[in-house]
Structure 1
Amino acid sequence: MRGARRTLAASALATTLGLTMAACSVPAEPGPDIGDRTVETAKAFLDEYVDGGRVVRTDQGGDTVSEGQAYGLLLAVAADDPSRFDSIWDWTTTHLQRDDSLLAWQWKDGAVIDEQPASDADLDAARALVLAGDAFGRDDLRKQGVALGAAVLDEMTVETALGRILLPGPWATASPHAYNPSYASPAAFDVLSRASGDPRWNEVAEGSRAVTSALLDANPLPTNWATVSADGAVALAGSAGGGGEPAYGYDAARTTIRFAEACGTADRALAARVAGALPGQDTLAAELDAGSGALTSDQHPVAYAARAAAFAAEGRSDDAREDLRRAADTAASTPTYYGSAWTALSTAMLTDDVLGGCPPLQDDETAAVATGAGATAATTAPGVGAAGGFQDPVSPAAASTAVPVHISIPAIGVDSDLIGLDRGADGWIQSPQDYDAVGWYEKGVLPGEVGPAVIAGHVDSPTGPAVFFDLPRLTPGDTVSVRRADGSTADFVVTGLQTVEKNSFPTESVYAPTPTPQLRIVTCAGAWDPASGHYVDNLVVTAVAA
């Protein structure tokens, strides 16, 4: 078979000599912007509910709460709208910000009517400020985000036997502490941890995970409120004051969305646990009792978005996307401030990395192309999604600004120097001129730095097999090592292979930002098309930092 393939290669590839050798090339730029839907829903919310920098709850008496200002800030980042961001933040600092940097919760008729801060709002606002500082090149915003986050840590966190937890407000410092599961945001903790270097953010992340796990052990659905004692005992609660019957409603639904966008697999697993407890019928009630029974006939976008998040975390991508559609349809048929906010936020958090999380549906959107007609299903390692997924974030200790000079793939006998590859006029990465050479895309990520580095080579030549002839033999767990000019080495582990049609190459999943150093190793594959002088497919190998 190998000999037959060699003869075919010699005959077919001979016809391409002197051409651009695009047969093993990769598009160098993404196709349609994966963030289009994010921008669309974010702008829709901002256009409808922001008035002179104030986010107005038009269906709730025309007041403004710190939560809404924070949503506006996050969505201005998602919409890439620095002007709107500034107007929202200026209004917030003028009317809501207290002397301790925290935000008063409620404003109405020209004055603050509730001075107490709410930690979810302040946490979201701090996250938005850091993200805006990075996105808009504004160090002042980044510093204000770090400062607001420090105030949250100082005044609205407390140590318990389960770890440091986020209190709903300074009023909850006495044990047993009132606790709102939906206030915890692993992605926000991660954004602020990286920006500040404050170890307490990791402590809050660990404590939040422990409490959420304990609450799901006690009840399959998160509830709007709970209590956490200093000794680590957790209990369901019906309200912030502990009275009433525990319920899964407009607050609790956010828990699953926030944990589904987390980069850590342990956090995502908590979101996935909720999927089995939610009713499976198309119509989903906005509020459920602790046993999943409907408490109302009303529907609300946040309920569908939360089920979408649970399905996405569980790997049920088609079901998740259908629920996101239901959320959008519900928001359109019954417009509300809160529904529109969470339609936009869940779109960003679950499908786009613009808010600094690891969206469970982002890679899946392009993986659907890869597994369509003419493609083979991806082979994946245990615990890794079909499109590679996201592992727990790791510190890229091997990161280096030195260029890569050598690649080794022991399982298939590849031991080759690396050359730099540029982009051709056709928008595709140029293939190496030498059939036995391996190249790395110089305009992309350096191998070993955070993000997806692209490496390419030929599968065969006019005279026989080329350097990546045996690339299809790789299996999850095989290793790849890239040595750099400074003598350091970046090591990777293969997580999956997929064959995709060139005319629908999954550029977004190849080039989308990742929270860890990763590789995309690409060669040509499939049948030879004499009419075009190209192979019809590409093989893409995904590898993550070891």
Structure 2
Amino acid sequence: MAKKLSRAVVFGLVLSSTMAIAKNAFQDGIGAYATGKYRNMFAEDGHSQKEIQAKIDAAYQQLFHGDKQTQAIAFDAGSNANGPLMYVTDWANHDVRTEGMSYGMMITVELGKKNEFDAIWNWAKTYMYIADPKVPSYQFFAWSCKTDGTHNSEGAAPDGESYFAMALLFASNRWGDGRGIYDYHAEAEKLLTAMVHRPLITAPGKYGPHTVGPMMNPDPPMILFVPDVFGQAFTDPSYHLPAFYELWARWGPKEDRAFWAEAAETSRVFFVKTTNPVTGLAPSYANFDGTPHVNRFPQSGEFGYDAWRTASNWSVDWSWWHKAPAEQDLSDRIQKFFASQGVDKYGPVFTLDGKDLGATPGLTHEDHPIGLMGTNAVAGLAAKDRATEKKFTEALWNAPIPSGQNRYYDGMLYLMSFLHVSGEFRVWKPRTGE
């Protein structure tokens, strides 16, 4: 009881102390959210809309409906009482992850593919959602499952929940709500509430008692790497999505809107703290003050596979909201750094000060990963150096659609990055008011 009271008191203090900042954060800025105008950097470079759309269509067709052995990452899986089922798989590791499932939902709602969206969500709710209130990860999703739905882990990864919630709200606004699990807005609200308020649940575990709480740290209001309670809490810079938090501050549960507005401001400041002041590279895992979290994960001091996404996150935030000019400097830094490595030559893993560490042992990404090419191109949305930005835009344009053993992560980032750079990754607002 003492723990619950303490958490409630802390959360209440956070809300009351941030109202002034939150009020400012509710201003719509001058980005794409307010103007409805999204940059199409491919078109700026002279590519026709017909050519751009053809590339988007080809990538979607290959990744979602291509050859099952060499191209596809999405697979039909029969049906149940709620309709068709589909999963997105990490082909190299033979599992289904909330990361990929939520990315799949985001891609399909942006492209207007309602049938595939519903089938992916149905599989996630059927197999990944933890509905037993006695299980510590209750109301969250098991981050990794076998393709038959068996859980590889009962743990949850907040990047998946974040994309699930945002994709569901976009679906609600784009298509309207249905019944049951297809009441998209209700499902998103339940998930957002759990992310902030889910009480601590403890159960016996393999290595002793296992406790899980909410996915958001109350003060500072910041996404956690995992909601599991053990030792020092920390975050993953690539999980920070202030562009989404701004929307949740408008469309999410009313009692938490000020919290999400403050979380957006907190993440913007955090991006500056956690990135190297010269290279713009972010660590894989970080403490709340931005320093690398090396207590449990020594490799967190490296710019690794998770960290690829961080630049995309701050750049989309700038594109949509134009609230943090420092994000432009961050994009200039990271593009300048990778340009110095050779736009078509850099590897996947670096020290934060820019030493190339090569591929992580045990992983088989190509030396020049297409997923990182994509996120570096998205950084151009915020960059001021247009000449350098164009080099990365063209590198993504000329990159092949990922195929083969490692098509999952590279493929997801490739297609989402292509949507961002082409101006086709958009905010779907409520059809009648907010």
| TM-score for both structures, normalised by structure 1 | 0.54
- 1:200 maps to which residue? 259
Cα deviation code 1:226-278 (max 9, x no counterpart):
112xxxx331135x823246111211110001111112331742444422333
Cα deviation code 1:18-51 (max 9, x no counterpart):
xxxxxxxxxxxxx946655444433432221111
State yes or no: 1:343 paired with 2:414: yes
The 1:332–1:111 alpha-carbon spacing in structure 2 relative to 1, beyond 3 Å, is: closer
- 2:73 maps to which residue? 49
Which of 107, 119, 141 aligns to 1:87? It is 119
State yes or no: 1:227 paired with 2:266: no
**What is the identity, as a one-letter code, of the residue corresponding to 1:325?**
W
**What is the identity, as a one-letter code, of the residue corresponding to 2:100?**
G
State yes or no: 1:157 paired with 2:175: no
Structure 1 position 350, deviation (Å): 2.9
Cα deviation code 1:489-538 (max 9, x no counterpart):
xxxxxxxxxxxxxxxxxxxxxxxxxxxxxxxxxxxxxxxxxxxxxxxxxx
The 1:203–1:38 alpha-carbon spacing in structure 2 relative to 1, beyond 3 Å, is: farther
- 2:272 maps to which residue? 213
**Structure 1 counterpart SS, 2:291:** strand
Distance 2:119 2:299 in 1: 40
**What is the identity, as a one-letter code, of the residue corresponding to 2:163?**
D
Greater relative contact order structure (CA < 8 Å, 6+ sep): 2
Partners of 1:54 and 1:69 within 8 A in 2: yes
**Structure 2 counterpart SS, 1:102:** coil
**What is the identity, as a one-letter code, of the residue corresponding to 1:205?**
A
- 1:529 maps to which residue? none
Which of 296, 305, 311 aligns to 2:380? It is 311
What percent of counterpart residues are identical? Answer: 22
**Structure 2 counterpart SS, 1:314:** coil
**What is the identity, as a one-letter code, of the residue corresponding to 1:185?**
L
- 2:397 maps to which residue? 325
Cα deviation code 1:97-151 (max 9, x no counterpart):
1234321111115411211111101000111111111122226112212221222
Partners of 1:226 and 1:242 within 8 A in 2: no
- 1:127 maps to which residue? 166
Structure 1 position 292, deviation (Å): 1.3
State yes or no: 1:65 paired with 2:112: no
**Structure 1 counterpart SS, 2:287:** strand
* 1:432-471 to 2 correspondences below 5 Å: none
Specify the structure having the higher radius of gyration (Cα): 1
**Structure 2 counterpart SS, 1:178:** coil
Which of 229, 246, 254 aligns to 2:309? It is 254
Gap regions ≥5 residues in structure 1 = 1-30, 359-400, 402-448, 451-546
The 1:117–1:334 alpha-carbon spacing in structure 2 relative to 1, beyond 3 Å, is: closer
Distance 2:57 2:245 in 1: 24
Q: Say how many residue pairs are matched.
A: 321
**Structure 2 counterpart SS, 1:277:** helix
Partners of 1:77 and 1:128 within 8 A in 2: yes
Q: Which has the higher strand share?
A: 1
The 1:292–1:279 alpha-carbon spacing in structure 2 relative to 1, beyond 3 Å, is: farther
Which of 181, 186, 191 aligns to 1:148? It is 191
- 1:183 maps to which residue? 239
**Structure 1 counterpart SS, 2:427:** coil
The 1:322–1:357 alpha-carbon spacing in structure 2 relative to 1, beyond 3 Å, is: farther
Structure 1 position 172, deviation (Å): 5.2
Structure 1 position 93, deviation (Å): 0.2
Cα deviation code 1:304-324 (max 9, x no counterpart):
122212334214242231131
The 1:192–1:272 alpha-carbon spacing in structure 2 relative to 1, beyond 3 Å, is: farther
The 1:245–1:253 alpha-carbon spacing in structure 2 relative to 1, beyond 3 Å, is: closer
The 1:337–1:213 alpha-carbon spacing in structure 2 relative to 1, beyond 3 Å, is: same
Partners of 2:106 and 2:167 within 8 A in 1: yes
| TM-score for both structures, normalised by structure 2 | 0.67
Structure 1 position 78, deviation (Å): 2.4
Partners of 2:302 and 2:352 within 8 A in 1: yes
Distance 1:116 1:144 in 2: 20
**What is the identity, as a one-letter code, of the residue corresponding to 2:308?**
A
* 1:422-433 to 2 correspondences below 5 Å: none
Two-structure CA RMSD over aligned residues (Å)? 2.9
Partners of 1:181 and 1:222 within 8 A in 2: yes
- 1:167 maps to which residue? 224
Cα deviation code 1:274-299 (max 9, x no counterpart):
22333431312111122212111612
The 1:217–1:58 alpha-carbon spacing in structure 2 relative to 1, beyond 3 Å, is: closer
Partners of 2:402 and 2:410 within 8 A in 1: yes
Distance 1:81 1:145 in 2: 19
- 2:155 maps to which residue? 116
**Structure 2 counterpart SS, 1:323:** helix
Distance 2:61 2:251 in 1: 27
Distance 1:258 1:357 in 2: 18
- 1:137 maps to which residue? 176
